[in-house]
Amino acid sequence: MAEKKDPSEIEIIGFDSIESDKYDRQKRIRGWDQKKITNARIMVIGVGATGNELVKNLVMAGVGTILLIDYDLIETSNLNRCILFNAKAAKKKKYKVDVVKEACRILNPDVEIITIKEDLNNIDKDLYKQYDVVCSCLDNIEARLEANNYAYYYNIPFIDSGIDGYFGTVQAVYSKMQTSSCLQCGISNVDLDLMWRKFSCTGQEIDSQNGETMEKMATLITTTSIIGGIQTQQVLKFILGTDYFDKYKKWNPKIGEPLVGKQLNYNGLTNKFNIINKIKDPNCWTCSFIKENE
C-alpha cells in the first residue's frame, strides 16, 4: 500500500505559473484575448462617480493605456461614491485626474494613465484618433454630444452613461453600424434647450447653464457601480470584438453585441433593466448628414 503523502509535499505542475499571472482567470473566458486588452487605448471623459468605477474596472482588467479628461477638483462630498478618491486629497482639493492616476498606479502598475485637466471643448480634436474607444461619464449634455460627434466622425466606438439616484442608463454608438442611432439623433435645438434645463434621465427638472448642472444631483454608489460595470462591459466588447465586426459585419457570439443604437435603462426601485431601441433620425447632422457627404 502506497504511503500517504503530506498534501504540502504534493507537487502541482504549473501551479506557480497559473497563480503568478494576474490575468489568468479572465484569460479562461471564451473569446478573451489579453493582448488586445493590453494594447487597447481608452479615452475616459469625466472621472466622477461613474468614471471612478469605469476606470477602476479597466485598470484591473489590464487595459494598456487610459486617457483621463477632467478639470474638476475633489470635494469631500465626492467620497461616498468614488473608490479612487480619498479624504486627504479632498481636504487638499487635488485634481481628480491626478488622484485617480495615483490610485491606479497602486491597483495595477502595468497600466499607463495619461491625464488632461481641460474642458473637453479645448482639447486637440486629433486626440480622438489615438484611442480605440471613447467613454463619457458626464452630467453635461453639451460635452456628451461633442464626444458623440467627434467619436462618430472618426469612426471610434463611443459609450455614454448617465445616472440619477436609483436610475441609470448606458448607450453605445458606432459609426460602422450605419443604421443605428447616435446620441445626437432626434435632438432638435428646442430639445437641447429643454435638456439643458431639464436633462435628468428621470425627467426631473434640474437647473443648469450651458448643459452644466447647477443643482447637485442625487447619486448613489450602488447605481454608479452597476452603471460603471455595464459601461466597462461595453468597452471590453469593443476591444475584443470590433475587428471581427469590421471584417464579418456581425458581432462575434463569444464576445456578444454591444448596446449600439440601444439604451439600457436600470431602475433600482423595481430591480429591473430594460433595453430600448433608439430610432435613428434620418436628418441627424451627426450620423446621417456627415456620412452622406463623405
Q: Residues in the site for Zn ion, rule: CB under 5 A? A: 182, 184-185, 284, 286-287
Q: Cα separation of 254 and 240, whole Å?
A: 10
Q: Are 59 and 111 in contact (CB under 8 A)?
A: yes
Q: How far is the CB of 179 from Zn ion (least distance, A)?
A: 11
CB closer to Zn ion, 73 vs 290: 290
Degrees (nearest 5) of the Cα angle 4, 7, 8? 130
> Residue holding cell 448596446?
259
- Strand pairing report for 262-267 and 167-173: antiparallel
CB closer to Zn ion, 156 vs 284: 284
CB closer to Zn ion, 184 vs 234: 184
Q: How far is the CB of 148 from Zn ion (least distance, A)?
A: 8
CB closer to Zn ion, 77 vs 178: 178
Q: How far is the CB of 131 from Zn ion (least distance, A)?
A: 20
Q: How far is the CB of 151 from Zn ion (least distance, A)?
A: 12
Distant-in-sequence, close-in-space partners of 19: CB < 8 Å, separation ≥ 6: none
Q: Are 171 and 259 in contact (CB under 8 A)?
A: yes
CB closer to Zn ion, 184 vs 252: 184
Q: Cα separation of 167 and 184, whole Å?
A: 21
Q: Cα separation of 220 and 250, whole Å?
A: 36
Q: How far is the CB of 71 from Zn ion (least distance, A)?
A: 28
Q: Are 67 and 127 in contact (CB under 8 A)?
A: yes
Q: How far is the CB of 153 from Zn ion (least distance, A)?
A: 12
CA-CA distances (angstroms) from residue 184 to 48, 104, 181, 275, 282? 23, 33, 8, 18, 11
Q: List the helix and strand counts (H, then E) for the chain.
A: 10, 10
CB closer to Zn ion, 82 vs 147: 147
